[in-house]
A and B are shown apart, each in its own frame.
Chain A
Amino acid sequence: MGVSELLASALRMSVPILLTALGAVYTERAGVVNIGLEGMMIAGTFWGAVGSFYYGPFVGVLLGMLAGMLLALIHAVASVTFKINQIVSGVAMNILAAGLTRFLCIQFFSMATTSPQVHSFKAWSIPLLDQVSFLKPVVTGVSPLIVVALLLVPVTYYVLNRTVFGLRLRSVGENPLAADTLGVNVTLTQYAGVLISGALAGLAGTYLAVEHTGMYIEGMTQGRGFIALAAMIFGNWAPVGAMWASFLFGLSESISFRVVASKIPYQFIKMIPYVVTLVVLAGVIRRATPPAADGVPYERGGE
């Protein structure tokens, strides 16, 4: 197995983590913890498959993102408007998504755990680069969604640091009381952050089903929503950092697929990405600085 094949596979594995981690950056920089991203990703896998099965991959993407946003909307209503504990609400989203998807899968496909094969996007080859033999595995057969995910990194950086929306989003996550007194609509801004995270998690799910596997399989997210949260923290709540962290997790995942060692039981090899996540979190989390008001519901009044 060559290095470039490994890189190509790592890139593909890191895309769903990256998309969701970018979503997590939006919601957490707005001060709302969204542990329900896993569930939003699950919704994305199913609805992406549904859309793609009936109308093709574009509609798949659309439906997948909408499904993620719908769950995100419920999370926002619960945790922003009604100030329910954000972790509890997020966990509820995960349970809701898992249960609902199974029910809907039976309705749509008369099968509980998988969909039939669905349409995928036509893969791209990056011109010029695909002439370089070392890069060939990386830049040929590229899903357009991979390109979108990579482009979203600088876009997110720009949005956060160079736009009014980004400034307000960050202010709400740092000090909502200050933002409120300055006329920033805290509720609306937090809704925006949560909804964007839902849309990106939904897109990540769609990528998994439509592009990666070509079908919906129950449980196919395999905790990547949680790994994405770890990547976001490892990346210090910033898009570029989240990208490198996602790549690290993608790499460990693709290594776990490729290690063929008869001595070590296969289950232990499958554990690699999760162990990497744990080690990274335990080692790094102390140096990370979350937004000052992350996870704290904002209530008006008082000095």
Chain B
Amino acid sequence: MSSTTGAEIVRLEGVTKRFPGVLANDRVDLSIMGGEIHAIVGENGAGKSTLMKILYGLYRPDSGTIYLRGAKQSIDGPGRAVALGIGMVHQHFMLIPAFTVTENIILGHEPSRTFLNFKKVATHIGELCRKYGFSLDPGAPVSSLSVGEQQRVEILKVLYRGADVLILDEPTAVLVPQEVAELFNNLRALKAAGKTIIFISHKLDEVLEIADRVSVLRQGRMVGTVEAARTDKRALAEMMVGRPVLFDLTKPQVTPGDVLLDVSGLTVPGRGTRPVVNAASFKVRAGEVYGIAGVEGNGQTELIEAVMGLRKPIAGAVHLQGQAATGLTPGELRRRGLAFIPEDRHKRGLVLPMTIWENLILGFHRDPGFSKPSGLNLKSIMSHSNEMKKRFDIRLSRLENPVLALSGGNQQKVILAREFSHDPRVIIASQPSRGLDIGATEFVHQQILKAKGAGKAVLLLSADLEEVMSLADRIGVIYNGEIVAELAADQVTPQELGLYMTGGKRQTREGVPA
């Protein structure tokens, strides 16, 4: 397939897609030029993923036309899209962890129809890796790869199928800064080779860095397309949200009070002989945000699970409001005033097929306000749910819909509404703004700072350095399961944090408060 740099390669006209109760795409027009990096931005639920799934043949539009290289096409399935040179890397990876890199790449597009010749395939994949500067071991099982590497497998999958047009749906949401830099290098190499890239992101700085042009969707409608060089963050944000957006957060000045969460010497066994969490100690006080920064997979997930009673530590103790809380069940901890915003909202935090109102009261369904002897008190639950919908600005059509029909940002708001509405004393927030648009991120950040202002203790885990630095008062850096440094947020640079996070530097033992 020849690349057609400079000429229009994809054109969408009047594309409309309706889901029960929502108009996800409303007469959308979009023009993509060959060889450009074209970003698509918009709030959660604006219809970005839906539009891309239509282009990739996963959804059929209700109306509208798609032109490819000037010719009208009906894309009735991903197979057709691939044949037309379109490839997509999904927001949620579509990999098979039990398969090797090679098996994942060739699946569905095997070089022969009958037998697998792994040697031949390996050479081909090696060539692709060299051409675009990807580093990967083709024989490694995908379950052993880091998130950044898994993403490279996804991109290779698309390239292996000979795609000219690559759709990347929020590729940076799961990456740490170093991985983002590597991804951008790969994307630049692809662009130099004449590939066209459609790039979805909520991080406007990234969009402005990598994209040539930016299209903005708002509530299913195309607001417009601008040149990246001729716009800025504020202008884009205003196009997305429809009102000016504030980017500066002011931390409320609170004098920290009593220690509400005290974790000391917590050690969690790992798969092998090394513990995944090794003698982690820190204290979070009332009116304080304590950030834990670290590259994903350094034990932060296990640390929080151990604190939450989801995993058994072999040593160490957790104290909640001065009382021993090690080994309590999550339910007991929640009753004692601990709120939890989990990092993976699909696995924990939500029951996707259950309704929105059910998810809003999960775990609190026995509260006197929501239950009566004969069962649930639907009337009070509904009025509570409606209040939550308003207070947390959850965009939904019906409370009776399953929560899985909500966009990612609105799913997160359901969790926030549930966790914040029961007046917790300690809040554990793990990647609270992952996948959220700027409006929703701003909202989450405000809620966290408001909680701090109200004298609550907040433990914040995030892979996003900017987020940790702008919210936290103190930052503990976790590396290889150990807290290697504890720093005041206003006295540290991102570079320094990055150095601690990657193991390039550590505080001396004495430097770490016991």
Q: Does A265 contact B (CB under 8 A)?
A: no
A250 to B: closest C-beta gap in Å: 29
Residues of chain B within 8 A (CB-CB) of A183 are 77-79, 82, 108-109
Q: Does B480 contact A (CB under 8 A)?
A: no
Q: Which of B91-99, B209-217, B392-400 contacts A (4 or more CB under 8 A)?
A: B91-99
Inter-chain pairs besides A181-B88, A183-B109, 8 sampled, C-beta below 8 Å = A177-B94, A179-B96, A179-B107, A181-B56, A181-B78, A183-B78, A183-B82, A184-B108
Residues of chain B within 8 A (CB-CB) of A168 are 107-108
B299 to A: closest C-beta gap in Å: 24
Residues of chain B within 8 A (CB-CB) of A181 are 56, 58, 78, 88, 90, 94
Residues of chain B within 8 A (CB-CB) of A162 are 115-116
Within 8 A of A (CB), among B35-55: 49
Q: Contact at B95–A178, with CB atoms within 8 Å?
A: yes
CA distance A179 to B107 in the complex (A): 7
CA distance A79 to B59 in the complex (A): 24
Q: Does B103 contact A (CB under 8 A)?
A: yes
Q: Does A171 contact B (CB under 8 A)?
A: yes
Number of A-B contacts (CB under 8 A): 73
Q: Does A180 contact B (CB under 8 A)?
A: yes
Which residue on A lies nearest to B118, using beta carbons? A162
Which residue on B lies nearest to A177, using beta carbons? B94
Q: With A163-B114, A292-B98 known to touch, is A184 a contact of B107 (CB < 8 Å)?
A: yes
Q: With A292-B97, A303-B91 known to touch, is A179 a contact of B108 (CB < 8 Å)?
A: yes
Show 9 residue pairs from A and B whose CB-CB distance is below 8 angstroms, ordered by the A residue: A164-B112, A167-B107, A170-B99, A177-B94, A178-B94, A178-B95, A183-B109, A291-B98, A303-B90
Q: Does A256 contact B (CB under 8 A)?
A: no
Within 8 A of A (CB), among B56-97: 56, 58-59, 77-79, 82, 88, 90-92, 94-97
Which residue on B lies nearest to A166, using beta carbons? B116
Q: With A168-B107, A182-B107 known to touch, is A163 a contact of B94 (CB < 8 Å)?
A: no
Q: Contact at A164–B90, with CB atoms within 8 Å?
A: no
CA distance A162 to B91 in the complex (A): 31
Q: Does B238 contact A (CB under 8 A)?
A: no
Q: Does B271 contact A (CB under 8 A)?
A: no
Which residue on B lies nearest to A162, using beta carbons? B116
Residues of chain A within 8 A (CB-CB) of B157 are 182
Residues of chain A within 8 A (CB-CB) of B108 are 168, 171, 179, 182-184
Residues of chain B within 8 A (CB-CB) of A167 are 103, 106-107, 110, 116
Interface string of A89-116 (1 = CB under 8 A from B): 0000000000000000000000000000
Interface string of B95-139 (1 = CB under 8 A from A): 111110001001111101111100000000000000000000000
Per the CB 8 Å criterion, the residue count for chain B at the interface is 32
Residue with the greatest number of chain B CB neighbours at <10 A, chosen from A164, A171, A177, A291: A164
CA distance A164 to B111 in the complex (A): 9
Q: Contact at A180–B78, with CB atoms within 8 Å?
A: yes
CA distance A129 to B196 in the complex (A): 66
Which residue on A lies nearest to B83, using beta carbons? A183
CA distance A215 to B98 in the complex (A): 44
Interface residues, chain A, CB within 8 Å of chain B? 162-165, 167-168, 170-171, 174-175, 177-184, 291-292, 301-303
CA distance A184 to B77 in the complex (A): 11
Which residue on B lies nearest to A171, using beta carbons? B107
Which residue on A lies nearest to B346, using beta carbons? A303
Partner of A164, one of B59, B79, B95, B115: B115
Q: Does B404 contact A (CB under 8 A)?
A: yes
Q: Please give me the 8 A-B residue pairs with the lowest Cβ-Cβ distance, nearest first.
A: A182-B108, A178-B94, A183-B79, A183-B108, A164-B110, A174-B96, A175-B96, A184-B108
Residues of chain B within 8 A (CB-CB) of A303 are 49, 90-92, 408
CA distance A174 to B92 in the complex (A): 16
CA distance A163 to B107 in the complex (A): 11
Partner of A163, one of B58, B95, B116: B116
CA distance A264 to B110 in the complex (A): 59
Which residue on A lies nearest to B78, using beta carbons? A181
Q: Contact at B98–A174, with CB atoms within 8 Å?
A: yes
CA distance A202 to B500 in the complex (A): 63
Which residue on A lies nearest to B95, using beta carbons? A178
CA distance A181 to B77 in the complex (A): 8
Q: Contact at B96–A178, with CB atoms within 8 Å?
A: yes
Residues of chain B within 8 A (CB-CB) of A184 are 107-108
Which residue on B lies nearest to A161, using beta carbons? B116
CA distance A174 to B408 in the complex (A): 24
Residues of chain A within 8 A (CB-CB) of B59 are 301
B339 to A: closest C-beta gap in Å: 26
Residues of chain B within 8 A (CB-CB) of A179 are 96, 107-108
Q: Contact at B114–A164, with CB atoms within 8 Å?
A: yes
B291 to A: closest C-beta gap in Å: 29
Within 8 A of A (CB), among B293-330: none
Which residue on B lies nearest to A184, using beta carbons? B108
Residues of chain A within 8 A (CB-CB) of B92 are 303
Residue with the greatest number of chain B CB neighbours at <10 A, chosen from A171, A175, A182, A292: A182
Which residue on B lies nearest to A174, using beta carbons? B96
Residues of chain A within 8 A (CB-CB) of B78 are 180-183
Residues of chain B within 8 A (CB-CB) of A302 are 404
Residue with the greatest number of chain A CB neighbours at <10 A, chosen from B91, B113, B115, B404: B115
Partner of B109, one of A170, A174, A182: A182
Residues of chain B within 8 A (CB-CB) of A164 are 110, 112-116
CA distance A302 to B110 in the complex (A): 27
Within 8 A of A (CB), among B409-457: none
Which residue on B lies nearest to A289, using beta carbons? B98
